[in-house]
């Protein structure tokens, strides 16, 4: 079952050239992505527009009725694994946060990952205080901390790895 | 200090087109790399020959006097981190194992990573029984298990993440 869309939004999984600029602006606006991350976010879209599915990155865009972007998610299978997937990020326009757009995008990513045979969704985030809301978002959505890598991003900035187990086509956690 | 070379071998950090085939044969010969991994190992060399340092991958080759390959290592900085580096793999010709070639390549990688400002070296390996010697190799070289991600590669096949902390230009562990 596809989760219900927040009012006024529609979901799109095709990538358009104009998404690169919109995504860049959105990533900037959230204040949660560093310049390098914003640049990579943009590049992944440019590359997907140029090369298509061969890049291994999939996108979900939450479009407003006027065609502007309220949020988007980027995900894909982890290379060299049988059924692990990475959720690279979810970004939501700060003006629209609190409406369930992030959760809607997350659940739709999970549904598509499960349908594609994925049984684990991995999310990396930072252990810094600023990212407490991000960690809370994933925890409340059923994700658990699989690892905490001290000083990974920088001294004092740990990588916190979340995972959620899915059952292909069922999306029911296999274990705690 | 550069570790002493095992007898008859010399170290090379420039990549040649012929290395792709030699590395592929070596990865196959070890029996530790799956087809997909061997293919990626080869691709990284082809890509580095084509694009140079822009790929972000560095190589160390252990050449025999006749120019054939006794082993090699591949490593590089982890994108979006300040000073974390990945050691992607070390492969040694099975006919030459037990001579300290792997350790020699490992220490030389660490020396170069520290000289480049890296302070953490990350190594991912499998938790399967077959990889017990690989895990023992890194443990005996001062690496500790930072995380164990159950079923990451496949059901029953965990990812074991090792780390060693370096001090830039000193290579002395900062902590346990």
Residue B4 has pLDDT above 90, yes or no: no
* Percent above pLDDT 90 for chain B: 86
Read off the pLDDT of residues B59-117 as tens digits, 9 standing for 90 and up: 999 999 999 999 999 999 999 999 999 999 999 999 999 999 999 999 999 999 999 99
Beta bridge partners of B162: B123, B145
In this predicted structure, which of A111-115, B38-42, B171-175 has the lowest mean pLDDT?
B171-175
pTM of the model: 0.90
Residues 4-43 of A with CB under 8 A from B: 34, 36-37, 40
The interface residues of chain B toward chain A in range 108-147, judged by CB-CB distance below 8 A, are 119-120, 122, 146-147
pLDDT digits (tens, 9 = 90+) for A76-127: 999 999 999 999 999 999 999 999 999 999 999 999 999 999 999 999 999 9
Nearest to A120 among B34, B83, B151 (CB): B151
Contacts 24+ apart (CB under 8 A), B71-76: B71/B26, B71/B96, B71/B101, B71/B102, B71/B105, B72/B19, B72/B23, B72/B26, B72/B105, B73/B105, B73/B106, B73/B108, B73/B109, B74/B41, B74/B44, B75/B109, B75/B113, B75/B121
Contact B8, B68 (CB under 8 A): no
* pLDDT band (50, 70, 90) for residue A5: confident
Q: Which residue in A36, A84, A148 is closest to B80 by CB distance?
A: A36
């Amino acid at each position: 079952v596809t989760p219900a869309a927040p009012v006024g939004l529609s979901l799109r999984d095709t990538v358009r050239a104009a998404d690169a600029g919109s995504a860049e602006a959105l990533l900037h606006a959230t204040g949660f992505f560093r310049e390098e991350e914003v640049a990579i976010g943009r590049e992944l879209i440019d590359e997907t527009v140029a090369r298509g599915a061969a890049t291994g990155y999939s996108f979900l865009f939450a479009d407003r009725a006027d065609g502007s972007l309220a949020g988007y998610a980027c995900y894909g299978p982890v290379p060299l694994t049988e059924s692990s997937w990475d959720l690279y990020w979810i970004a939501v326009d700060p003006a629209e946060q609190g409406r369930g757009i992030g959760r809607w995008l997350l659940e739709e990513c999970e549904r598509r990952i499960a349908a594609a045979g994925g049984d684990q969704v991995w999310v990396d985030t930072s252990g810094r205080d600023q990212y407490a809301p991000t960690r809370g978002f994933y925890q409340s959505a059923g994700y658990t901390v699989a690892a905490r890598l001290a000083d990974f991003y920088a001294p004092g900035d740990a990588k916190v790895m979340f995972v959620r187990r899915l059952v292909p086509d069922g999306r029911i956690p296999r274990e705690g």
